[in-house]
Structure 1
Amino acid sequence: MQHSKGKIVACYSESIQHANKYASFSKELLQQPIAQGKWSIVEIIGHLIAWDEFVINKRVPFLINGKSLPASPSVEKINKHAAQTALNKPPHEVLEEFTSIRSRLIEQIEAIREDCWVKEFKINDSLLTWTSYFLGLIQHDEHHFKQCADFLNKK
C-alpha cells in the first residue's frame, strides 16, 4: 500500500504546484469563467478548498478511528458557497489558502497508518479503501486542472 500512499501524496503535491502557477495571472483572468456557464479558476480552486476541509474534518478522523461517518453534505450547496466565497477574495489569497489546506491534507495522508489503507469502508452505497477514495478525489482534481489548463492555453 505504500506505493499507493506515495502516489497519492505525489499527486496532491503536484496539485499545489499547478495552483501556484496561477499566481502569475491577473485577477481578471483568474475570475473569468473558463467557459459559458462554468466557474472561473478562482471558483474551481475555492471549491477544492471546501472539499479538502471536508475530508480533513469529516472523513479522515472518523475513518482512522473506525467511527461512523457524518452524513454527506449537499454537494451543490457546498460548491455554490465555496465558489462565491472564493470570488469575494483576492485570487492570491485563495491560492495561498489552497496551498495551506492541501498541505494539511497531505500531512494527514502521510500520517495514516499502513493497516488503514487496506480496510474497507462504505460511503453511501460505495465500498471503498483509502486508496480508492483518494484516487477518486485525485481524478476529480485532475479534471478541474485540465479545464483550467485548457482555458489558459486559449489565452
Structure 2
Amino acid sequence: MNKSKIIEEKLNLINWCESLKNLTDEIWFAAFKEGSWGIADVISHFISWDRFLLENRIPFIIRSEEYPPIKVDVETINAEAYRYARSGRSRVELINEFIAIRKHLVSQIDTIPDERFQNHMNIGSSNETLADYFKELIEHDKRHMNQINTLIEEMIP
C-alpha cells in the first residue's frame, strides 16, 4: 500500500462517519451484542487511537526516530474511550471531533516522504514497513466500520 492509498483510506472513514450523524440515539448507543460496545464507543475509540498515533508515533516517524519505550495499555485506552463516548457529548460533537482529529492525522501522514513507507521500522516487538503498519490500522478501521454497518442494517429494516 502506498502513501496516497493510505491517505485515501484514512479519509474514506471520515466520509462514511458523516453519515452516522443522522442516526437515532437508540441506534447510536445500541450494543453490538450483550455487554459490548456500540457505535458511539467505536467512534470515541477511533479518536483515542488517532490521538495516540499523533502523540506517540507520528512525531517519531516524521523525524525518523525510534519510538521511545512506553507501556501501551490497550485496556485503559479503550475503557477511557468508552467513558468519553458516554460522557454527555452529542453524536454530532463526537463525530465532528473524530473528523477533526482524523484530518489532522492525515495531514501529518502526508508530511512523511513517500519513499519512507517502504522502510522497515521497529514497532513494539515487530519489525515491519511503515506501509504495512498503516495497512493494519486501516484494516482495523474497516473491521469496526463493517461492525457498525451490520448493526445499522439489523436495526433499520
Same fold by TM-score greater than 0.5: yes
**Counterpart of 1:43 in 2: which secondary structure?**
helix
CA contact (8 A) 2:43 2:98 kept: yes
Moved more, 3-12 or 125-134: 3-12
Identify unmatched segments of 5+ residues in structure 2.
none
> Following the alignment from structure 1 to structure 2, what is the Cα–Cα distance between the partners of residues 64 and 107?
12
Give per-residue Cα distances to partners, 1:107-135, cap 9 Å, x unaligned.
11111112322221111221111100100
Q: Which of 6, 9, 17 in structure 2 is aligned with 1:8?
A: 6
> Following the alignment from structure 1 to structure 2, what is the Cα–Cα distance between the partners of residues 128 and 108?
20
**Counterpart of 1:36 in 2: which secondary structure?**
coil
The residue number in structure 1 matching 2:26 is: 28
The residue number in structure 2 matching 1:128 is: 128
The residue number in structure 2 matching 1:94 is: 94
Q: Which runs of 4+ in 1 moved over 6 A?
A: none
> Following the alignment from structure 2 to structure 1, what is the Cα–Cα distance between the partners of residues 130 and 108?
12
The residue number in structure 2 matching 1:42 is: 40
Report whether the alignment pairs 1:67 with 2:65.
yes
How far residue 28 of structure 1 moved from its aligned partner, in angstroms, is: 2.6
Give per-residue Cα distances to partners, 1:52-86, cap 9 Å, x unaligned.
01111110111221323131420010001011111
> Following the alignment from structure 2 to structure 1, what is the Cα–Cα distance between the partners of residues 108 and 71?
20
CA contact (8 A) 1:46 1:86 kept: yes
Amino acid at match of 2:11: S
Identify unmatched segments of 5+ residues in structure 1.
none
**Counterpart of 2:20 in 1: which secondary structure?**
helix
How far residue 36 of structure 1 moved from its aligned partner, in angstroms, is: 1.4
> Following the alignment from structure 2 to structure 1, what is the Cα–Cα distance between the partners of residues 153 and 118?
40
The residue number in structure 2 matching 1:81 is: 80
Cα root mean square deviation, aligned = 1.3
Amino acid at match of 1:12: K
Amino acid at match of 1:31: F
The alignment covers a number of residue pairs equal to 153
> Following the alignment from structure 2 to structure 1, what is the Cα–Cα distance between the partners of residues 62 and 116?
7
The residue number in structure 1 matching 2:117 is: 117
